Amino acid sequence: HSHTGASGITGLSLSSWLARVGGHVAVNTKTLGWQPGCKCGAEVEPCICLDPFSGSGTVAVVAYRLGRDYIGIEASPEYVQMSEKRLKPYKQQIKLNLK
């Protein structure tokens, strides 16, 4: 049977559609620019960033830049490898706690 979803795709199974778009859902991404934080002067609250579809690791890079902990989940081995390569320089940096 066939379904038409929000994407307008008719009659394709998820696996067929993923094969058609290259095996990864986020095929049309846009970079909106990176902001280091708000200008309100509030204290930074510790947190863990969870990205269930981490892709190439953009959220992880921003988390590292902001000194946050990060958990990323990605089903595609190719994107996991890409993300690990992209994060390697950040993981190798030594953090100094100078207060």
pLDDT greater than 50 at residue 13: yes
pLDDT greater than 70 at residue 89: yes
pLDDT greater than 50 at residue 25: yes
Distance separating the N- and C-terminal Cα atoms of the chain: 63
**Sequence spans of domains, the chain:** 1-26, 31-92
Q: What is the pLDDT of residue 3?
A: 45
Distance CA 91, CA 85 (A): 10
Q: pLDDT tens-digit profile of 33-65?
A: 656 666 677 777 788 999 999 999 999 998 888
Specify the long-range contacts of residues 90-97, CB closer than 8 Å, at least 24 apart. Answer: 90/61, 90/64, 90/65, 91/64, 95/67
H or E element in which residue 83 lies: helix 77-92
